[in-house]
């Protein structure tokens, strides 16, 4: 779930994330954070059910498009250390 190699962008073009009415403002920080959480929650649930994580790819693409890489690296490190503030 937290493997850095599996989180690298696949080859090909990704479209811009679609408009999300939950985040109507120009500041997309909350959108970035929410999609990061949703991705990790989705992966955890799919792994618990013994299913593939393909449905989680949408969240992955959105947070990779919106979030600065430094934030994602820091959050991933915090998850691994057990100090991440979000509820996954």
Inter-residue contact 39 to 60 (CB < 8 Å): yes
Q: Which domains does the chain have, with CATH numbers?
A: 28-81 (1.10.10.140)
63-79 average pLDDT score: 95
Q: What is the DSSP letter of 82?
A: T
> From CA 37, how far away is CA 4, in angstroms rounded?
16
Inter-residue contact 7 to 60 (CB < 8 Å): yes
pTM: 0.80
> From CA 59, how far away is CA 81, in angstroms rounded?
23
pLDDT band at 15 (very low <50, low <70, confident <90, very high): confident
> From CA 44, how far away is CA 50, in angstroms rounded?
10
Q: Tens digits of per-residue pLDDT, 26-44? A: 889 999 999 999 999 999 9
């Amino acid at each position: 779930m937290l493997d850095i190699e599996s989180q690298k962008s696949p080859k090909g073009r990704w479209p811009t994330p679609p408009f999300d009415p939950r985040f109507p403002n120009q500041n997309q920080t909350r959108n970035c954070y929410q999609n990061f959480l949703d991705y990790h929650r989705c992966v955890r649930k799919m792994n618990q059910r013994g299913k593939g994580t393909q449905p989680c790819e949408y969240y992955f693409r959105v947070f990779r498009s919106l979030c600065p890489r430094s934030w994602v690296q820091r959050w991933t490190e915090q998850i691994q250390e057990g100090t991440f503030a979000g509820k996954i």
